[in-house]
Chain A
Amino acid sequence: MNDENLKPTVERILRGDFKAFKDFVDNHKKLVSFIVFRMVPNSVDREDICQDVFVKVFQNLQNFQFQCKISTWLAKIAYNTCYNYLEKKRIPLFDDETPVSKSFDAIPSAIYSPIDYIEKQEQNVLLHREIDKLKPVYRTIITLYHLNELSYNEIGDIMKLPEGTVKSYLFRARKILKEQLSAKYREEELC
């Protein structure tokens, strides 16, 4: 969504138009949910945290001057909200030993033939499992780059990391995923 097109919506929200805010939430909940669901291991808290993110967005919208893309600003709020949650629960972001979420309840929305659908689902499940095994910081960067389509610079701004570090983590995360997935597929072929 083009930020120029969002300016009238933002103005309406600031005037107290809750219908405009409802549309805004519907258009941006995908972006927020990707970040929250990847960072927060507890499935019970995820949706509440997504709601809190949007409440914070509403509270701070008057301070947003379009100095960056609105998606970057939203991602920053989502990331900071999750970071504070993890700190409260004493779950480190930059650590190997993080509880892995076993309940990533995503339902594929694409439609395939039955066999392809099952194969696609299995691939998705396998990929999710391997992503969940990554360090939280790698998971977050993978999500922000591939799902939220943010640049290295934008990710660095959100996570307060240098661009070089973001790139290095991203490349490392992908390498790990590729190796893990290749090993899994080879295992399945041997069965």
Chain B
Amino acid sequence: MLSDHLNDDLIQEFLDGNLSVFERQQFEKHVQNCDKCRWRMEEFEELFSELNEQPEIQLSRSFTKKVVKKTRKEFVGSLQFGLMQIFFTLAFIIIAINVLFYYVELDTLKSDVQNTVNATFGFIPKMLSVFQGLLGGITSHTRYALFAAIILLMLLVADRLVFQNKHKNASYSK
């Protein structure tokens, strides 16, 4: 049994739940019989209770809205940057190829490349003529609206692909 009075550290160890079962029993026995130590423990208990019950901080009503707005701006900014990177990379490749063909005499290679492109993408002019036939019956306003819708769809697909690629490495294992 603890015969000396309890010091402040021991009281706090008890209230924080750091004592072993035996130490707790000794502590509780002492406190039952010592008014001074019980009174000091109660003072600490009251302080802990007040510290644990601090009122919630009132942030402005628009706090969450502002956070989401700020985050959206950052997110869109980084996405636009990603699309810009793709655009400039493609533009660079196209310019580089054109410069190469301009300065280097590669007639054979040029004709080979042309033949390959015609073979691979030869269906596009045929598709375009079929498409033109279909479009022939549609008014110009509708045509523009259709093209705008197709471009929007392509942008949405590109947006999804870029976003998914950015976050594909996230994993949640503990």
Q: Which A residues are closer than 8 A to B by beta carbons?
A: 7, 10-11, 14-16, 18, 21-22, 25-26, 29-30, 33-34, 37, 47, 50-51, 54-55, 58-59, 62, 65-67, 105-110, 123-124, 127, 142, 146-147, 170-171, 174-175, 177-178, 181-182
**Contact call A18/B47, Cβ cutoff below 8 A:** no
**Contact call B67/A51, Cβ cutoff below 8 A:** yes
Nearest 5 A-B pairs (CB), nearest first? A146-B51, A108-B55, A33-B57, A54-B67, A58-B71
Taking CB atoms, residues of chain B closer than 8 Å to A174 are: 12, 44, 47-48, 51
Count residues on chain B whose CB falls below 8 Å from chain A CBs. 36
The docked-state distance in angstroms from the alpha carbon of A124 to that of B169 is 47
Specify the chain B residue showing the minimal Cβ separation from A128: B54
Given A15-B167, A58-B71, check contact A107 B58 (CB 8 Å): yes
**Contact call A50/B63, Cβ cutoff below 8 A:** yes
The docked-state distance in angstroms from the alpha carbon of A108 to that of B68 is 27
Taking CB atoms, residues of chain B closer than 8 Å to A59 are: 74
Taking CB atoms, residues of chain A closer than 8 Å to B43 are: 178, 182
Is B163 in contact with chain A by the CB < 8 A criterion?
yes
**Contact call B50/A123, Cβ cutoff below 8 A:** yes
CB distance from B27 to the nearest CB of A (A): 16
**Contact call B55/A124, Cβ cutoff below 8 A:** yes
Taking CB atoms, residues of chain A closer than 8 Å to B75 are: 16, 58
For this complex, 15 residue pairs linking A to B, each with C-beta atoms less than 8 Å apart, are A14-B167, A16-B163, A30-B57, A50-B63, A51-B63, A51-B67, A65-B172, A106-B58, A146-B52, A147-B54, A170-B12, A174-B12, A174-B44, A174-B51, A178-B44
**Contact call A65/B171, Cβ cutoff below 8 A:** yes
| Of the residues B57, B58, B173, contact of A65 by C-beta under 8 Å | B173
Centre residue among B50, B67, B167, B171 by max chain A CB count within 10 A: B67
Taking CB atoms, residues of chain B closer than 8 Å to A47 are: 59-60, 63
**Contact call B57/A37, Cβ cutoff below 8 A:** yes
The docked-state distance in angstroms from the alpha carbon of A15 to that of B170 is 10
Is B107 in contact with chain A by the CB < 8 A criterion?
no
The docked-state distance in angstroms from the alpha carbon of A15 to that of B168 is 10
Interface residues of B in 62-106 (CB under 8 A from A): 63-64, 66-68, 70-72, 74-75
